[in-house]
A = this chain, B = another copy of it.
C-alpha cells in the first residue's frame, strides 16, 4: 500500500486501493482465526483466497507490481489449502 500511495495515479484508483485494504484486513483476520483455533478459520481463509486472487489480478492489470502479484498468488494458494 505504501508503494501505491507514493506512486499515485492508477495505483490509488478507488477499486484498486479498496481491494488492497480489504486484502490486508482479511489476511489479518484469517491469521487471527487460525491462532484462535476456531473452525470458522476455514471460511475466512476461503474468503481470503478469493480476495487475494482478485488483488493479484488487479495488481497485474495495473502493472509494475510483480512482487505483489506473486505474494498475493502465494497467499491465495495457502489460504485455499487451509480452507480445505
Contacts and interface: CB of A to CB of B under 8 A. Distances in A.
Interface of A: 1-2, 5-6, 8, 12-14, 17-19, 21-22, 24-26, 28-29, 32-33, 35-38, 40, 43-44, 47, 50-51
B26 A40 contact: yes
Stoichiometry (number of copies): 4
Contacts of A40: 22, 26, 47, 50-51
Contact of A38 (B8, B13, B19): B19
Among A22, A26, A51, residue most surrounded by chain B Cβ atoms (within 10 Å): A22
Interface centre among A6, A19, A40, A47 (most CB of B within 10 A): A40
A38 B32 CA distance: 20
Contacts of A1: 21, 35-36
